[in-house]
């Protein structure tokens, strides 16, 4: 058996690229955020020191020449830079580089699934591929660029097998290709999670895995904070498979709760969207005219969520929550998503009382839709602990931060920078204040 919280795989990227909007804030090689030095050649990328610049030269050398030609203020699409680095690496013998996984197993870049036939039938993806090919034509010597058919195969391997590189706060920093880690299959109810230290990936178990085999390891390819229909649609669109994992393929608690309404008598959940009209706990019957009110609330909330696609507004969230009261169950997905938006909005506005009230309720929803040992839940408890420290509620802060520690020890481990530099400091502060040290 492999115990929960075990590191089962570590790997450096085959290729990676830092998101362009972070190029003035983070080192292009290690993604550290500190005082940066510009590349003297292109002035486009920046490094934290000479060591990183030297290490990056093997893949930056070719792009450096072309980046010099960029007009001031113009950005290169992230995927174009990733493809440029990848094509250059393959030309220089990178096709022979092995990505190890499991025991004595490995794969090459060519072994990644290209989904060539699906890509060719996917108008949106083909438009993207044509656009990127045009960018690369103007950015590198044509004799170094593969023909479009070969390029499409490379493009397919990238878009289907790449990982978003995240920091400890779950912010997207860049994109990487990991040959070994890309062998791991998907489940909406995973038993492992991918975390990053700089650009290096680590796969850690978040559940015990009896009779361990590499083929049993599952990570979640997408954000699982979605309905079954949304998850399956996203996976089909992005990865070309229809998910039949246990969470998608059976009547789990998530499916039952996703669009549940609240029983007016005992406050239990009723799976209204599944056709139920009677409470399974107390037999209270949903009124005949209830559907009109229900769909008005759902449609109004969905409209508000779309308007808050990039930034959440606390007042709008509170209006939604008010309309949802006594209609949607507190663990229905739409209610929990509204709570999530309201919580983030209250943090942005430094409204700590609102954040604490919302955050306490949100914890239950996160546990349902993410599971008990997910980085998002650990980070959530850490945010709540920080707020409690600000409000001088030291004992509560310590209790909450210890909940975060229990999860982050599993998902990241005690050697991860996120644990050592952020969580450990908060725990020390809370213990010192709570015990008068």
Burial of 74 (0-12, 13-18, 19+ CB in 10 A): exposed
Strands 99-101 and 105-107: antiparallel
The whole-chain average pLDDT of the chain stands at: 94
Q: Which residues contact 117 (CB under 8 A, 6 or more apart)?
A: none
How confident is the model over 192-229, as pLDDT tens digits? Answer: 999 999 999 999 999 999 999 999 999 999 999 999 99
pLDDT for position 257: 85
Domains annotated on the chain, with CATH: 7-219 (no CATH), 284-434 (1.25.40.10)
How confident is the model over 224-260, as pLDDT tens digits? Answer: 999 999 999 999 999 999 999 999 987 666 677 888 9
pLDDT for position 214: 96
Number of H helices, E strands in the chain: 16, 14
pLDDT for position 274: 60
2, 212 Cβ separation under 8 angstroms: yes
Q: How far apart are CA 44 and CA 74, in angstroms?
A: 10
Angle at 173 between CA 167 and CA 179, to 5 degrees: 90
How confident is the model over 171-188, as pLDDT tens digits? Answer: 999 999 999 999 999 999
Work out the number of other CB atoms within 10 angstroms of the CB of residue 153: 17
Angle at 245 between CA 338 and CA 100, to 5 degrees: 105
* pTM given for the model: 0.94
pLDDT tier for residue 69 given thresholds of 50, 70 and 90:
confident
* pLDDT of 140 higher than 90: no
How confident is the model over 367-421, as pLDDT tens digits? Answer: 999 999 999 999 999 999 999 999 999 999 999 999 999 999 999 999 999 999 9
pLDDT tier for residue 40 given thresholds of 50, 70 and 90:
very high
Q: How far apart are CA 407 and CA 5, in angstroms?
A: 9
Work out the number of other CB atoms within 10 angstroms of the CB of residue 275: 6
Angle at 410 between CA 408 and CA 411, to 5 degrees: 65
CA 388 from centroid of its chain's CA atoms = 26
């Amino acid at each position: 058996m492999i115990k929960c919280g075990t590191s089962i795989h570590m790997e450096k990227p085959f290729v990676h690229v830092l998101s362009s909007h972070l190029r003035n804030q983070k080192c292009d090689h290690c993604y550290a955020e500190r005082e940066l030095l510009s590349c003297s050649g292109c002035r486009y990328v920046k490094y934290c020191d000479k060591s990183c610049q030297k290490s990056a030269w093997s893949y930056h050398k070719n792009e450096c020449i072309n980046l010099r030609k960029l007009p001031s203020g113009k950005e290169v699409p992230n995927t174009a830079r990733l493809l440029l680095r990848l094509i250059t690496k393959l030309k220089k013998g990178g096709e022979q580089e092995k990505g190890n996984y499991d025991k004595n197993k490995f794969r090459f870049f060519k072994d990644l699934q290209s989904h060539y036939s699906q890509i060719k039938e996917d108008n949106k993806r083909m438009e993207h591929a044509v656009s990127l090919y045009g960018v690369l034509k103007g950015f590198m010597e044509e004799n170094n660029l593969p023909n479009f058919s070969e390029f499409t195969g490379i493009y397919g391997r990238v878009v289907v097998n790449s990982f978003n590189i995240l920091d400890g706060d779950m912010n997207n920093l860049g994109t990487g290709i990991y040959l070994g880690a890309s062998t791991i299959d998907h489940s909406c109810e995973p038993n492992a999670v991918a975390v990053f230290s700089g650009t290096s990936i680590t796969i850690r178990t978040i559940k015990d895995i009896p009779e361990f085999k590499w083929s049993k390891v599952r990570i979640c390819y997408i954000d699982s904070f979605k309905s079954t229909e949304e998850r399956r649609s996203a996976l089909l669109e992005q990865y070309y498979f229809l998910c039949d994992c246990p969470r998608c393929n059976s009547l789990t608690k998530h499916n039952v709760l996703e669009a549940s309404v609240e029983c007016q008598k005992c406050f239990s959940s009723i799976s209204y969207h599944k056709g139920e009209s009677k409470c399974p706990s107390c037999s209270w019957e949903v009124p005949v005219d209830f559907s009109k009110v229900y769909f008005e609330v759902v449609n109004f909330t969905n409209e508000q969520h779309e308007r808050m696609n990039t930034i959440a507004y606390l007042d709008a969230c509170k209006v939604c929550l008010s309309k949802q009261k006594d209609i949607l169950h507190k663990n229905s997905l739409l209610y929990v998503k509204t709570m999530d938006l309201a919580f983030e909005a209250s943090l942005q506005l430094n409204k700590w009382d609102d954040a604490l009230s919302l955050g306490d309720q949100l914890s239950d929803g996160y546990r349902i839709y993410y599971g008990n040992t997910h980085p998002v839940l650990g980070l959530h408890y850490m945010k709540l602990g920080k707020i409690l420290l600000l409000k001088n509620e030291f004992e509560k802060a310590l209790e909450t931060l210890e909940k975060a520690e229990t999860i982050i020890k599993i998902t990241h481990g005690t050697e991860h920078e996120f644990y050592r530099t952020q969580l450990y400091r908060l725990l020390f502060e809370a213990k010192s204040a709570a015990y008068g040290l």
